Amino acid sequence: MSSIPVVLGVDLGTTATKVVAAGTDARVLHTTERGYPLRTDEAGEATQDAAEVLRAAVEALTECASWAREQGHEVAGLSFSSAMHTLVGLDSRGEPATRAFNWADTRASEVAARLRSEPATSSALHRATGTPVHTQSVMVKLAWLTSGGAEIGEVDRWCALKDYVVSAFTGEFVTEHSLSSGSGLQDMHTLTWHEPALQVAGINAAQLPELREPTASLPLGSQVATAAGLPAGLPVVLGGGDGPLANLGVGAVAPGVAALSLGTSGALRVTRDKPGVDERCRTFSYALADGLWVIGGAVSNGGVVGQWAAEAFGVDVAELLDEAAAVPPGADGLMALPYLLGERAPWWEPGLTGAFLGLRRSHGRAEMTRAVIEGVAQQLALVRDAVADTGAEVHAVRATGGGFRSRLWAETIASALDMDLDLAEGSGGSGLGAVLLAWRALGEIDSLAHAAELVTVDAQVAPDPAAAEVLAHRRPLIDRLHQTLRDFSL
């Protein structure tokens, strides 16, 4: 392989940081990874050690940079992707004064419920910021913390976990519009901090980073440069949130092309040229770059429902999925609302619980497993419907994630959406999205639309007409059943 310039995309995830190396042709050449634990000691807790994440990022970057040198590739720059909705408090020296709160931390649920009990307030905040009033929201977490929700040290400033890492890399306390658009603190129309949200959060704008464009770059500082074996002053492109960058990384930037991910949880997002949420506030609206926004929703229950069923029935998950695949669409009349972990889109209700409906003596583990998988597929279809209500058409889907290793998952979701799924498993996801955004910032790619066209599709899965008909017939029932189940859950 001939040597070429590469950008290294640093993807700060929930349990690991990955560094992706790719050139201007969007081919992933190398990936390195360093893991770290997600602490869940308390009920509802999901936190990380910010300093540990920084060390992992430097180590993974060092290994990837070493590979690039060995291959003769010039490193043209760095760029960042990060899990959204993270929060860490810093002391006056810029060091962590708190653990880093992850999106999955639900200890602010009472605050979220109180805000949602005032529909005019919560909907106004959602429509202004594009972020649902939910426990994943940074605004909600701050409101909980500043009102004494948890013991914290002396906090001088607040930021996302990526902002802390970028500060260590560059010496600058900044964030960018993509990650901040998921905080619940930024006005999506003016791209400035939203004063009513700051008041709810109990902080002021001076305690937050300076806002920049996702394509803005800063010079790499000497300390990290020396540790990683890279030149000081190397461009560090700020990048963005993993959701918006995943759309770019799988090639879902053109109007009407949605990105769908399925791992433990799932999400569906479509890109368009303006912000905005649907009238019922079921969707989020997060910035990508260059005036593009992703509209969509994340579901809390994805592949986890298959894992739960396998554990509950004491059988290997692959074996159980094979059994479920032999059950006809509709699971022999059984229907599931699969809210094992509460639910995000389109309901945004962390306290929601799941249910089986139509359960009979003849139903066994195969039917129950098929029903929960169909339930997840229906949630993703409901997100697609909510996206359509914003005026954003969805006519094609780029899908990625470990869940699609199962044919049953792929065919069921294709059937619920009643459209082909283009599987982009060979893409580098949000890490590749960060790389492509950097090439755009460095002037080597003329537009994000052009960047997305470089990403190839590995395979296509078509919907099953019989399954599509059954699922479409049932879907209008889900909203009514959800309303009843919500009353029971409360």
Contacts of 423 (CB under 8 A, 6+ apart): 399, 400, 404, 410, 457, 458, 459, 460, 461
Please, which pLDDT band fits residue 488 given cuts at 50, 70 and 90? Answer: confident
- State how far the alpha carbon of 306 is from the alpha carbons of 54, 111, 119, 353, 453, in Å: 33, 31, 35, 16, 33
486 pLDDT more than 90:
no
pLDDT score of 471: 98
pLDDT score of 1: 57
Q: What residue type is 163 in one-letter code?
A: D
Please, which pLDDT band fits residue 322 given cuts at 50, 70 and 90? Answer: very high
> What is the residue-averaged pLDDT of the chain?
96
Nearest to 281 by CA among 196, 201, 387: 387
3-state class (DSSP) for residue 366: helix
pLDDT score of 490: 54
Task: Give me the mean pLDDT over the 307-327 stretch.
Answer: 97
C-alpha 181/C-alpha 212 separation (Å) is 12
pLDDT score of 477: 95
Task: Give me the mean pLDDT over the 368-390 stretch.
Answer: 97
pLDDT score of 484: 86
pLDDT score of 428: 78
C-alpha 284/C-alpha 88 separation (Å) is 22
Q: What is the CA radius of gyration of the chain?
A: 22
pLDDT score of 458: 87
Per the listing, tokens 């009349």 go with 333
Of the chain, the percentage scoring pLDDT greater than 90 comes to 93
Could you tell me the two tokens for 165? 């890492």
Nearest to 26 by CA among 426, 399, 443: 426
Q: C-alpha dihedral over 11, 43, 208, 285, to 10 degrees?
A: 60
pLDDT digits over 62-116, tens only? Answer: 999 999 999 999 999 999 999 999 999 999 999 999 999 999 999 999 999 999 9
Task: Give me the mean pLDDT over the 39-61 stretch.
Answer: 97
Phi and psi angles of residue 337, each rounded to the nearest 5 degrees, phi first: -100, 105
Of the chain, the percentage scoring pLDDT greater than 70 comes to 99
489 pLDDT more than 70:
no
C-alpha 429/C-alpha 285 separation (Å) is 19
C-alpha 412/C-alpha 173 separation (Å) is 45
127 pLDDT more than 80:
yes
**H-assigned helices in 389-489:** 407-417, 429-441, 448-453, 465-489
Nearest to 433 by CA among 5, 46, 10: 10
Domains of the chain: 6-244 (3.30.420.40), 252-423+458-490 (3.30.420.40)
Phi and psi angles of residue 130, each rounded to the nearest 5 degrees, phi first: 80, 5
Lowest mean pLDDT segment, chosen from 33-42, 371-380, 435-444, 475-484: 475-484
Task: Give me the mean pLDDT over the 452-460 stretch.
Answer: 92
The 10 Å CB-count burial string (b at 16+, else e) for 167-195 is bbbbebbbbbbbbbbbbbbbbbeeeebbe
Assign residue 234 a region (left: φ > 0; alpha: ψ between -120 and 50; beta: otherwise): beta
pLDDT digits over 330-367, tens only? Answer: 999 999 999 999 999 999 998 899 999 999 999 999 99
Q: What residue type is 176 in one-letter code?
A: E
pLDDT score of 319: 97
Per the listing, tokens 């920084």 go with 54
**262, containing H or E segment:** strand 257-262
